[in-house]
Structure 1
Amino acid sequence: MKRARTWLPGLLLVSPSILLIGVFVYGMIGWNLRLALSDQHRPIQDADFVGLVNFIELWDEARWPGAVRNAVIFTVVFVGGALFMGWLLGLLLDKGIKGEATLRTIYLAPMAVSFIATGVVWRWLMNPAPADRATGLNALFVELNLDFLVNNWWTNPEFGMAAMALPAIWQLSGYIMALFLAGFRGVSEDLREAARVDGCSEWRVYLYIVMPQLRPVTLSVVIILGHMSLKVFDLIIAIAGQQIIADVPAVYMWQMVFEVRDPAVGATIASYMLIAVAAFVVPYLIWSIRKERSEGR
């Protein structure tokens, strides 16, 4: 009885949140999965269970493999670029450069901007107009007599999605910088000083002392950026609209649900996106739980 009095008030306090999460998160996931496993290809019709037919047939659609390829390219460039830029900015601030507070504010400022606003600005910066009518970055290259750098940006079939990742890197690098800076500042100064006394140069101190202790931060950064990139939608729409050359699963899903009005295919695409995000998040959660248990022993 005494034990029940201990945990019952806490359970009652969090029960509204548990109920809402159960309905609007896991309930919606279950409803989406039911649609994906059915043959409901019209908004209003009787649906029958068809198993994994929709998941298999989706790969026969000419558009789907291209959308997956674009998402993979975007993810690799975005995660790698933001990870490197955030680490580099965090390293520079950790070295104590002048005006750190001002620079930190400037680097973090893009985080206050939505992906839609970022996309509108970068749509002009990455305007694929030719050199004689260049705007944005292409105009800058022309003014600097760097005409060989003028390109079609996101409309280029070879590296269009890599160019599409540039606005996302610009917007998220400051946030990643803050995470890495906290990691750098969390490394004991005594450890660094002991390494210096033993004759380590400054770069060896960072390589062998500081960087190994940033693995948890790096893993968290990869998880955060990875799941954001796999479900990117608003940035793509703001820059390219609904053009096939910049197609990604989220845009494809939106069109299937709201334009083609095929709930089953839209739910199938959403399920694939959920699986892709889970592939990033679940291993991290398992690793975190095991780490907490090992530290608690």
Structure 2
Amino acid sequence: MGSRRDRILAILMLSPSLVLLAIFVYGFIGRTVYLSLTDWGRQMALALHPTIHFVGLDNYRELFTGFLDVRFRQDLVNMLYFTLLFVGASLSLGLALAILIDQQVRGEAIFRTIFLFPMSLSLVVTGTMWRWVLQPRGGVNVLPAMIGREPWTFLWLSSRSQYLRFDWQHLPRYLGVGIAIALALVASVGLRRRRRLGPALAGVAAGATLGWALFGPGSHVKLLPFPELHGFNDALIGVVLAATWQMAGYTMALYLAGLRGVPSELREAARVDGASELQVYRYVDLPLLKPITLSALIILGHIALKIFDLVFAMAGPDNAPTSVPAISMYLTTFRGNQLAKGASIAVILLIMVSVLIIPYLVNAFRSRRAELG
């Protein structure tokens, strides 16, 4: 009787939060998805009673294949490169700092505070500060002049030089290969665990077929009637530096907690077997840090995919070389009054973040249920 009463009381206590969550989170997400399927903004967007028609996926088609939305496509490429560089640099630098502090250096508390301090700043403050540091005619560019050399001339936030360029026409092929690789990895996990052999083999076959259809020599899939080259902009280097400076301390704290949690018996056993310090970290510590690495990867990837305020503060919304999809959403919605297309960009960002977050949450819930069960 008491258990039932407690359950009813818990439901009553949680109901207001669940109702507010359903309305102001999932309700607004559903409303945004619906608006992305309309033409709101093409005619009298800010009228008291605007004319809105359902147009299906037209907004998404224009974003990926429209002649006027080339900036959005470059923003997607910028976000991809930024995510890879930012996450990789933050993980590497954070791990290196954690290993150094784990050596029981003198003044460890001071170094921990110094490395963690940037995380306490808002991204707007960080962006403003790094904008001053990376001024083309000041900041770090004038450091060589202090020793009598010519100052640097690198355009940190406005350079338009591009590398690793590719044709947007080939995007379906790259996606096909990526899906094929993902399916093959999932299938290999199934084969390794000796479970569900049939679906695993079917996944391999489906991935190989899809990859050949989209990437093979007979593929004629085209997104645009003309070539459109995109690549990595040099201007993103400054944004990556600022973001890494702010988040490397957070990654260091995660790794340091993980290193301090490794049983000393395991390290001593490895040293007794003749392992060097480098081998101890490689074969004992790093394998035990995999869950922390995965958590940091998810958190940093989530930050990178929805980055907005740092870029806005460092380079402004009109600087195309450093623009990201969140900036495009802001400009499209609040400057261009194309509310439906802005909602489409928001939905695309939501899907990308969900692809990163949902599998991690599902795996975490399953692991937790297995521990409790």
Instruction: Please give the TM-score of this superposition, normalised by the length of structure 2.
Output: 0.75
Instruction: Establish whether residue 273 from structure 1 lines up as the match of residue 349 from structure 2.
Output: yes
Separation of aligned partners in 2, 1:249 and 1:53: 18
- CA shift for structure 1 position 48: 2.3
Instruction: Establish whether residue 153 from structure 1 lines up as the match of residue 229 from structure 2.
Output: no
Q: Look up the SS of the partner of 1:35 in the other structure.
A: helix
Structure 1 letter corresponding to 2:339? P
- 2:141 is aligned to 138
Unpaired segments ≥5 residues, structure 1: 130-134
- CA shift for structure 1 position 283: 1.4
Separation of aligned partners in 2, 1:78 and 1:30: 31
Separation of aligned partners in 2, 1:230 and 1:141: 35
- 2:289 is aligned to 214
CA contact (8 A) 1:43 1:263 kept: no
Separation of aligned partners in 2, 1:221 and 1:142: 39
CA contact (8 A) 1:110 1:172 kept: yes
Separation of aligned partners in 1, 2:152 and 2:8: 65
Q: Which has the larger radius of gyration?
A: 2
Separation of aligned partners in 2, 1:147 and 1:179: 41
- 1:64 is aligned to 72
Name which of 187, 191, 194 aligns with 2:269.
Answer: 194
Name which of 306, 331, 346 aligns with 1:255.
Answer: 331
Separation of aligned partners in 2, 1:81 and 1:249: 22
Separation of aligned partners in 1, 2:14 and 2:102: 40
Separation of aligned partners in 2, 1:238 and 1:143: 28
Instruction: Establish whether residue 284 from structure 1 lines up as the match of residue 289 from structure 2.
Output: no
- CA shift for structure 1 position 2: 4.5
Structure 1 letter corresponding to 2:134? M
Structure 2 letter corresponding to 1:219? L
What is the percentage of aligned positions where both structures have the same residue?
42
CA contact (8 A) 2:38 2:53 kept: yes
Structure 1 letter corresponding to 2:292? V
- CA shift for structure 1 position 200: 1.3
Unpaired segments ≥5 residues, structure 2: 163-233
- CA shift for structure 1 position 150: 4.1
Name which of 116, 122, 125 aligns with 1:114.
Answer: 122
Aligned 1:1-297 pairs, distance under 5 A: 1-41=1-41, 42-44=45-47, 45-59=50-64, 60=66, 61-129=69-137, 135-144=138-147, 147=150, 150-157=153-160, 158=162, 159-242=234-317, 243-297=319-373
Q: Which moved more, 1:55-64 or 1:38-47?
A: 38-47
- CA shift for structure 1 position 12: 2.0
- CA shift for structure 1 position 149: 5.0
- CA shift for structure 1 position 145: 5.1
- CA shift for structure 1 position 146: 5.9
Separation of aligned partners in 1, 2:144 and 2:24: 49
Structure 2 letter corresponding to 1:252? S
Separation of aligned partners in 2, 1:280 and 1:149: 39
| More helix as a share of residues | 1
Structure 1 letter corresponding to 2:118? P
- CA shift for structure 1 position 49: 2.0
CA contact (8 A) 2:141 2:151 kept: no
Q: Look up the SS of the partner of 2:289 in the other structure.
A: helix
**1:39 and 1:277, CA in 2 relative to 1: closer, same or farther beyond 3 A?**
same
Instruction: Please give the TM-score of this superposition, normalised by the length of structure 1.
Output: 0.93
Q: Which moved more, 1:46-55 or 1:172-181?
A: 46-55
Structure 2 letter corresponding to 1:270? A
Count of residues in Structure 1 that have an aligned counterpart in Structure 2? 292
- CA shift for structure 1 position 105: 0.6
